[in-house]
Amino acid sequence: MKEEIRRALAAREKKTISTEGLTRSAVLVPLFEKDGRCHILFTKRTDHLHHHKGQISFPGGGRHDEDRSMLETALRESREEIGLKESDVEILGELDDAATLTSFYHIVPFVGFIPYPYDFTIDKFEVQQVFWLPLGDLMHKAVKKSEVYTFGDLKVEMFSYDLEGRFIWGATAWMLGQLIEIIGPVGAGS
């Protein structure tokens, strides 16, 4: 499964966006195999954070000056937020860059494979909870919605997924939708 996902990600051209006026950030989309199925790890952010409070997200955050690359940002943030060691992540590829229109972040998403089970160490200031959902269930059982929002002169289609009481929306839902489109049945394992 891992190599098929790597090939599916490599078989496409990544789309980038301008970073002008946006805060550079990166996330890790962690995948792992459990019971023969591909699962995706998410975090639920705490309610007292300045941006995206209480939302479901992927581990990640803003670039620091000492980060040599956006991948280093994603891996550093994953270590800081959930205790995921850089050496335990096998990068499989990248998704297209994303942007948040309310907090003005430019997000570079990296897809990585991690071991399971894993002894996560959660930064309780930033992360309320770590959880995972099967990719196949997100594809076939989640309630999916699409709505168009207007930001000034810009109309943007926003997606959401609702599965097992977990409501995933915004940039995280957009990245999840792209991942499902790219790896589809290859990663579903169902």
Tell me what the mean pLDDT of segment 162-178 comes to.
94
Q: Which domains does the chain have, with CATH numbers?
A: 2-134+171-184 (3.90.79.10)
Q: 3-state DSSP call for residue 46?
A: coil
The vertex-150 CA angle with 149 and 154, nearest 5°, equals: 120
Residue spans of alpha helices (H) in the chain = 2-10, 70-82, 135-140, 170-188
Q: Residue 190: what pLDDT?
A: 46
Check whether 52 has a pLDDT greater than 70. no
pTM, entire model? 0.92
Q: C-alpha dihedral over 40, 140, 171, 90, to 10 degrees?
A: 30
Give burial (CB, 10 Å; 0-12/13-18/19+) of 53. exposed
Residues 62-100 pLDDT 10s: 999 999 999 999 999 999 999 999 999 999 999 999 988
* Confidence label for 41 from pLDDT (cuts 50, 70 and 90): very high
The angle, 0 to 180 degrees and rounded to 10, between the axes of the packed helices 170-188 and 2-10 is 120
Residues 125-146 pLDDT 10s: 999 999 999 999 999 999 999 8
Tokens found for residue 170:
């915004």
**Encoded amino acid at 178, one letter:** Q
* Confidence label for 107 from pLDDT (cuts 50, 70 and 90): very high
